[in-house]
Amino acid sequence: MSSGPDESGRGQLASFRRLLTPAGQALLAGLAPYEPGQALQAAEAARRRGYDGALVSAALTQSRLRARAHAKLGEQAARLYFTPDGLEQATRAVVAARRAQRFAPFGVRRLVDLCCGIAGDLAHLAGAAEHAVGVDRDPLTCAVAEANLAVLGLADRVQVRRGEVEDLSLDGVDAVFVDPARRSSRGRLFRPESSSPPYSFVLDLAARVPATAAKLAPGIPHELLPPGAEAEWMSVDGDVLECALWFGPLATAQRRATLLPTGDTLVGDGSTPVPVGPVGRYLYEPDGAVIRAGLVADVAAGIGGRLLDATIAYVSADRAAATPFATGYEVLDVLPFGLKRLRTLLRERHVGRLTVKKRGTAVEPETLRRQLRLSGPNEATIVLTRVAGHQKVLLVAPLA
């Protein structure tokens, strides 16, 4: 059994519950959209209207967190409830929706979301099962999750239970999702086995309920991935957010890179051979999800390209090819790396604004920009990388 909340936890829970009463709802509804510079005035105005300090503080916290949550959860963030940690750890709506879609074809009757947090995933998983249960050890987080499910009209189909996931019986459960906490009060936890619950618990789960999925950090070392499971790296607008593990019937590939919001998805097993060769007329920079999944060679094969260096994720090709999995550039010039030469080239082209991309070099873009003393009305993009073991600078232009 999990222990109950401490005194400050009990106070926060009580304030949150008061926020759900008609008085709390009226206060929250009457607050203007959150503006950092206006918080003090808003608090004073609410107190003048007769609301007590604890309720006002709880309402302002929600208002601030709702504003912050917009980027992750879109318009509906304005109706939902958060804790600072819960928001920080919540899965983005577009990722949670994609995950839930993958459960949907399995006709799941009873699904359990272990470590449901504020229900970022659970709210979407609810649509993929007849009945869903979320479990979390933190009482305030459970109350927030319940409130969110009620706001979303899901309360009749989804239950939230407080408890330790290690103590939970999974009898009668036909699908499980687990998103272990990767931070503690002391900060981020980098080792998979340090997460709560630990990685070994995740792996054991799959033996108990075959249709198990888990959310892991995108940096999970490939050698820790269990054989037979699918690892899916997901990026949103180019930012790699997580590695989802799919076990049993849910696994449909060995490795996958999924780019959101488009949903373009690339599968492979990391064994595609790829030639290494010289710089061609075009350069392609694979999406981070492709790189993390180890599928750069598959992208290169798809566009008839080659790597510039066996260990660096830049692909070059002689013909322009459309691929959703990489950003393409036309190569305008290639020169050996040297400050003087680069400065001359950029001066000749009157470049005042420079985008620096780099892989396989220790050069710091900011330092380089300072050293180049750029001036002029034009913009340019350079790529610093190794070609056949030598440091090179590629002057490139993004393909339209």
Ligand X SMILES: C[S@@+](CC[C@H](N)C(=O)[O-])C[C@H]1O[C@@H](n2cnc3c(N)ncnc32)[C@H](O)[C@@H]1O
Contact set with ligand X (CB under 6 A): 89-91, 115-121, 135-138, 141, 164-166, 179, 181, 196-197
Angstrom distance (rounded) from CA 234 to CA 218: 8
Q: How far is the CB of 215 from ligand X (least distance, A)?
A: 7
Nearer to ligand X among residue 159 and residue 391 (C-beta): 159
Angstrom distance (rounded) from CA 185 to CA 8: 15
Q: Which residue is nearest to ligand X (CB)?
A: 120
DSSP 335-397: EE--HHHHHHHHHHTTEEEEEEEESS----HHHHHHHHT--SSEEEEEEEEEETTEEEEEEEE
Q: How far is the CB of 182 from ligand X (least distance, A)?
A: 6
Nearer to ligand X among residue 92 and residue 306 (C-beta): 92
Nearer to ligand X among residue 72 and residue 306 (C-beta): 72
Angstrom distance (rounded) from CA 242 to CA 26: 38
Three-class SS state of 17: helix
C-beta separation of 184 from 196 below 8 A: yes
Q: How far is the CB of 185 from ligand X (least distance, A)?
A: 12
Cα torsion angle, 323, 329, 330, 335, sign: negative
Q: How far is the CB of 87 from ligand X (least distance, A)?
A: 8
C-beta separation of 200 from 193 below 8 A: yes
Nearer to ligand X among residue 63 and residue 148 (C-beta): 148
Q: How far is the CB of 149 from ligand X (least distance, A)?
A: 12
C-beta separation of 56 from 47 below 8 A: yes
Q: What angle do CA 340, 342, 345 make, to 5 degrees?
A: 110
Nearer to ligand X among residue 154 and residue 181 (C-beta): 181
φ, ψ for residue 160, nearest 5 deg: -120, 135
Q: What is the dihedral of CA 8, 14, 15, 17, to 10 degrees?
A: 150
Nearer to ligand X among residue 77 and residue 119 (C-beta): 119
Q: How far is the CB of 228 from ligand X (least distance, A)?
A: 24
Nearer to ligand X among residue 35 and residue 88 (C-beta): 88
φ, ψ for residue 208, nearest 5 deg: -85, -40
Q: How far is the CB of 36 from ligand X (least distance, A)?
A: 25
Angstrom distance (rounded) from CA 285 to CA 287: 7
Nearer to ligand X among residue 195 and residue 258 (C-beta): 195
